[in-house]
Structure 1
Amino acid sequence: MRLVLASGNPHKLAELRRALPTLEVDALDRDDAPDEDGATFQENARIKARWGRRHAPPDAWAVGEDSGIEASALDGGPGVRTARWAAGDPVGRMLAALAGADDRGARYVCVMVAIAPDGREAVAEGTLEGSIAREASGGEGFGFDPVFVPAGETETVAVLGDEWKRAHSHRARAAAALRALLAP
């Protein structure tokens, strides 16, 4: 089975390839990507999947993915606006937004929508519960990983490392759910 990720994000592509090692996963990296103007992660993933379906090879499933972080102290924000909210400095922006906040609860969310060549659709979601640390640590991962401490852990995802993330991240969990939906 062949999947085409409707994204040019190399980190997301690498994570999806690692999470789905038995499938061929390629990127559909184009300059005309659609606007992500949905109100939910699923709506944005579906927008990307439908765009991907129009441009993907005829034998491939088109996969749209949307993900972000939801912080309790920010009333679930930044949510679907995560990338725009972070504005190139996700760690600094999050630490500033939560300065002085007692409630550090947060979760990563990832939704994948896959559309088959015949139009069938599969939707998978993965979450990773945790909290935001008071300072950054670690050198692996990307985005909020230097300040995100998963539930049950004492270190950030950036300290736990890419191997840990490969098995436990919100994207890995969504990919596992997608793999189960696509299994023959």
Structure 2
Amino acid sequence: MPRIALASGNPHKLEELRRALPRFEIQLLGRDDPPPEDGATYEDNARIKARWGRAHAPEDAWAVGEDSGIEAVALGGAPGVHTARWAAGDPVGRMLEALTGEKERGARYVCVMVAIAADGRELVAEGMLQGSIAREASGDEGFGFDPVFVPEGETPTVAGLGDAWKRGHSHRARAARELARLL
């Protein structure tokens, strides 16, 4: 079974990746010394994490770094690569507050994964989920912005659609499928 060492301390991301890639053995490389996420793009940050992961991963595993975020049209694509810091522990409240009075509710989730093999080979996979931001939170599954993100073509939020839906359709699931194809 192919092995992946995910350079993250986020158990939600680990669970999503395991569900999206059932044919892979995936372990979390969460440590006390993660690298700074100071890249200009999702790919930059994913590569920073993958390189850090490569230094700590078993030799027979691909080290995978992932970066993701949400981009709101009314905010000029923000928070984007700064999503985690921008959300400051209250992603739903912060997004609803930022879009108060805005008619334009378009948004997209973006995920980029970089995988690095022991021999230095590098693969890049990207996934996106288009949608909009609801005017109020609903649903009780998922995490982050899921209670206010309504995927294109759907009425409920991702949190309302549930984890089973998310496993097959999220930006991270799409990037993971692309990564599996590349691997």
TM > 0.5: yes
State yes or no: 1:56 paired with 2:57.
yes
d(CA) in 2 for partners of 1:21, 1:60: 15
The corresponding residue for 1:96 is 97
The amino acid across from 1:24 in the alignment is E
Cα distance in structure 1, aligned partners of 2:46 and 2:129: 18
Structure 1 gap ranges (5+)? none
Partner of 2:47: 46
Residues 27-67 of structure 1: CA deviation (Å, up to 9, x unaligned): 00111000000000000000000000011111110000000
Superposed counterparts of 1:124-143, under 5 Å: 124-143=125-144
User: Does residue 1:122 correspond to 2:123, yes or no?
Assistant: yes
% of aligned pairs identical? 78
Equivalent residue runs for 1:1-184 within 5 Å? 1-182=2-183
TM-score computed with the length of structure 2 as normaliser = 0.99
Cα distance in structure 2, aligned partners of 1:150 and 1:74:
18
Pairwise CA distance, 1:130: 0.1
Gaps of 5+ in 2: none
Runs of 4+, deviation exceeding 6 Å: none
- For the residues of structure 1 that align with 2:180 and 2:79, how far apart are their CA atoms? 28
Q: Which amino acid aligns with 1:29?
A: G
Please give the alpha-carbon distance, in whole angstroms, between the structure 2 residues aligned to 1:32 and 1:44: 15
CA distance in 2, matches of 1:58, 1:115: 11
SS at match of 1:77: coil
Q: SS of the residue aligned with 2:127?
A: strand
Give, in whole Å, the separation in 2 of the partners of 1:155 and 1:2.
35
Number of aligned residue pairs: 182
Distance 2:177 2:59 in 1: 24
CA offsets 1:5-46 (integer angstroms, 9 cap, x no match): 000100000000000000000000111000000000000000
* TM-score normalised by L of structure 1: 0.98
Q: Distance in 2 between matches of 1:60 and 1:118?
A: 11
Secondary structure in 1 aligned to 2:179? helix
In structure 2, distance between residues paired with 1:56 and 1:178: 18
RMSD: 0.3
Q: What CA distance in whole angstroms lies between the structure 2 residues aligned with 1:29 and 1:11? A: 12
1:117 shift after superposition = 1.2
Helix, strand or coil: the match of 1:67?
strand
